């Protein structure tokens, strides 16, 4: 069994699509539009086969969780794995240089990964990691 996709509501559909395509090598399908209920979405696919569904519809209330300073029960981050520690560091530098906040890292975790945490344009937590090799 695999995880097919994770869905994210957003008020900035195009910006979020462009972020995952640019920084995480995603491939977006053609935008789906349902004019009857004003719903729009993209599926962004990754080499692993997993996907993110980015969705927009007027009237969806904002998330009350504080994803930047605190963590709450429920889904807390999306994690992207890369082949090695150098690629973790390169992705961190690329995102930081483009103005994205780095919450923590790079660092070695207790379970053997080299990782950093950042935020996507909607402040969803994103983790980029590789197996730590000394």
The answer to the question of residue 26 being in a domain is: yes
Q: Report the distance separating Cα 117 and Cα 103, nearest Å.
A: 5
What's the pLDDT at 66? 79
- Tell me the average pLDDT of the chain: 94
Q: Do 86 and 43 belong together in one domain?
A: no
pLDDT digit string, tens, across residues 39-96: 999 999 999 999 999 999 999 998 887 778 887 778 889 999 999 999 999 999 999 9
**Structure confidence at residue 57 (pLDDT):** 97
What is the residue range of 104's domain?
A: 77-131
Which candidate, 93, 80, 11, places its Cα nearest to that of 52?
80
Q: What is the pTM of this model?
A: 0.93
Please tell me the total count of domains within the chain.
2
Quick one: 86 and 127 in the same domain?
Answer: yes
Residues 92 and 46 in one domain: no
């Amino acid at each position: 069994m695999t995880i097919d996709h994770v869905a994210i509501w957003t008020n900035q559909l195009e910006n979020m699509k462009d972020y995952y395509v640019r920084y995480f090598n995603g491939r977006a399908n053609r935008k789906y539009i349902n004019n009857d209920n004003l719903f729009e979405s993209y599926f962004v696919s990754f080499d692993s086969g997993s996907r993110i569904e980015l969705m927009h519809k007027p009237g969806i209330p904002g998330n009350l969780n504080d994803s930047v300073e605190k963590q709450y029960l429920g889904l807390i981050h999306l994690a992207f794995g890369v082949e090695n520690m150098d690629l973790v560091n390169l992705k961190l530098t690329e995102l930081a240089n483009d103005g994205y906040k780095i919450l923590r890292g790079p660092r070695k975790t207790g379970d053997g990964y080299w990782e950093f945490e950042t935020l996507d344009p909607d402040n969803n937590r994103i983790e980029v990691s590789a197996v730590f090799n000394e």
